[in-house]
A = this chain, B = another copy of it.
Amino acid sequence: MPIQKITKAEILTKTLELFQKQGYYQTSMEQIAEACQLKKGSFYYYFKDGKEEIMHEVLQMSLDFFREKVFAIATQADLNPPEKLEKILKKHIRLLIKYKSGCLFGKTSLEIAHQSPSFKPVLQTFFEEWENSLSQIYEAKYQPSYAKQLAKQTMIEMQGASILMQVFDNEEIMNECCARLLDKF
């Protein structure tokens, strides 16, 4: 069939979901293909360098999404700091709960910790930018150095809660975590 069955963006979205659920290594090209209703060979038309390139683009797309839709909340002029924090956390949590799969960046970090480090830069960038956006909000109330500390701690709690959510198949853990973080502020 010579008609385009699926756009590159759609492929990336479907693949993101799979990587988020199953992890990078446990997701086969065949599974990705099936999800896109393509044959696995067809991917190399869109992604000349194969699976690793898909992952790179998935991570980049996801990073871009977070930048625009989540981290950007920190600089939104029409919100006061507590509103910003609430919005930024709730938005983030909604994404972590979706597919009940937690954070692609955190998950991938563990998967590749002791392997091919080609993804590491994007992963680190994600966490750095996340930290910066949170820190910016906390700085409305606290000194920069303490704000940074709070930002890091917030990331830690979100990542940790995401793990426990998956261990116990219980989304409430995420929500409680969020509530606690908002309370503290």
Question: Which residues of A come within 8 Å of B, CB atoms?
Answer: 21-23, 25-26, 100-102, 105-107, 109-111, 113-115, 123-124, 127, 149, 152-153, 155-161, 163-164, 166-168, 173, 176-177, 180
**Chain B residues with CB below 8 A from A114, complex form:** 21-22, 100-101
Copies of the polypeptide in the assembly: 4
A92 vs chain B, min Cβ distance (A): 14
Given contacts A156-B160, A173-B152, contact A110 B115 (CB under 8 A): no
Contact yes or no, B166 A163, CB < 8 A: no
- Secondary structure at the A interface, as helix, strand, loop or mixed, is helix
A63 vs chain B, min Cβ distance (A): 14
Contact yes or no, A177 B156, CB < 8 A: yes
Q: Which residue from B25, B167, B177 sits with its C-beta under 8 Å from A123?
A: B167
**Chain B residues with CB below 8 A from A153, complex form:** 157, 177, 180
CA distance A25 to B115 in the complex (A): 12
**Chain B residues with CB below 8 A from A127, complex form:** 164, 167-168
Q: List 16 A-B contacts (CB under 8 A).
A: A22-B114, A23-B110, A26-B111, A102-B113, A106-B163, A109-B163, A109-B166, A110-B163, A113-B166, A124-B168, A127-B167, A152-B164, A155-B160, A155-B164, A156-B164, A163-B163
